[in-house]
A and B are shown apart, each in its own frame.
Chain A
Amino acid sequence: MTDEQKKIYTEDVIIQSIRTSPGTDVPEGFAERVMQGLEPRRPSVWKRLRLWLIRPQVMTFRPMTVIPAVTLAMALIALAVINNDTPAPDRTAAMTSVRFVLHDAGQQARNVSVIGSFNKWRAERSVMWYDPEARAWVLEAKLPPGDHEYLFLVNGRELVPDPQAPMTRDDGFGNRNSILFVNGDDEQAL
């Protein structure tokens, strides 16, 4: 094991220990004790009015009132499209199909997601599915050209770099992110 590998491995253990350390249970009846000590607020009329004004609004529409407005909006959009000589760039044409694969022969993981710069590191946007034939977690996605950093999030808590990624990058916080290069030519499998 090289010094760099030791460093990465140790930091993985540290980060994992922070994520999973159980902590101490709250004493019984704690929330009730907190609540007993609180007095209800008595907001002024002005404060009530201000809070009423900033409340979340639920808007309902009746079809008969919406149809004329929608018709007008569509007419304006059509007019804008007709007057616009320069066609909008087709973003989807520049996208390349990519397949993320994380091998897991015994299906040890309960769930796996891909998180990365292309989905703002949000796990819920790129949930992988388990392919029993490939014995791996798989996700197909379309990505724009460029280099993208990513990691696998296993069981919602463990960050795993892609063992098959040809390159990784230090994120500056002790983690190694895998790097995926998309050149825009044809499908890329990882």
Chain B
Amino acid sequence: MKEEREADIVRKVLLGDVQAFGLLVREYQRPVYNLMIRMVGDEDKAADLAQDAFTRAYDKLESFKPGRRFFPWLYSVSLNIARDWLRADGRDRLVFVEDASVMARQEDTPDEQDTLHARLDGAKAFDIVLTLDPKYREALILRYRYDFTMQEIARTLETSVSGAKMRISRGLDMVRQKFDGGVI
């Protein structure tokens, strides 16, 4: 079991084996770095923030609960690093704050042929995902790329399970509407 292996690595780190932490860094450096790129849009800054995220995770390692998966906990730590930077930089767009309702903008309905081409273009679909508000974008990525459970998504994004479900459902709706004018 991966969780058991990671719990054992965490235990070794807490006992003073700093090199054991390198296993976790190498395992998760790519998703953490890519999260930071999505959050700040600059590769150099993303690398700095990803390093800060691992450093903070190392410092806070005692608060990790061994029975759980390490990656969702690390993702949560990383998101907080990104949020702190956005706030300090004056770029905080109230990301991750629940709003009462989301009204996705109605696009002009493209003609049938354009719609078909757009549908077949997965790269375009992901480009649209990247334009979403982070609370919807990250919910979709956690669910469909990293296979987080609803409970893990809720904990990571600091919302309820029903809030996590709502974000995934609305996120999909918003991307779909940009594709084809919103057949709901």
Chain A contact residues, CB within 8 Å of chain B: 3-4, 6-7, 9-11, 13-21, 23-27, 30-31, 33-35, 37-43, 47-48, 51, 54-56, 172-174
Contact = CB atoms under 8 A, between A and B. Distances in A.
A51 B15 contact: yes
11 contacts: A6-B183, A7-B176, A14-B175, A17-B126, A18-B144, A21-B145, A26-B33, A40-B18, A42-B16, A56-B4, A172-B169
Given A7-B176, A13-B120, A34 B126 contact: no
B79 interface: no
Given A10-B119, A14-B125, A40-B18, 6 more contacts: A14-B129, A14-B176, A19-B144, A34-B54, A38-B21, A43-B15
Interface stretch (B43-51, B81-89, B94-102): B43-51
A115 B161 CA distance: 22
B27 to A, nearest CB: 10
B21 A11 contact: no
Interface string B15-36: 1111101100110011101100
Nearest to A25: B30
A31 B176 contact: no
Contact of B122 (A4, A16, A35): A16
A18 B126 contact: yes
Interface in B151-174: 165, 168-169, 172
Nearest to B58: A38
B71 to A, nearest CB: 15
Given A10-B176, A10-B179, A11-B176, A43 B14 contact: yes
A18 B145 contact: yes
A14 B140 CA distance: 10
Contact of B14 (A14, A41, A56, A174): A41
B25 A34 contact: yes
Interface string B69-87: 0000000000000000000
Contacts, number: 126
Nearest to B23: A31
A173 B171 CA distance: 10
A173 B169 contact: yes
A142 to B, nearest CB: 26
Interface string B53-73: 011001000000010000000
A172 B165 contact: yes
Which of the listed residues A3, A4, A26 has the most CB atoms from chain B within 10 Å of its own CB? Answer: A26
A54 B145 CA distance: 33
Contacts of B17: 40
B6 interface: no
A41 B8 CA distance: 16
Contacts of B43: 24, 27
Contacts of B37: 24
A150 B177 CA distance: 27
Contacts of B13: 41
B122 A17 contact: yes
B39 interface: no
Nearest to B13: A41
Contacts of B16: 40-43
A17 B51 contact: no
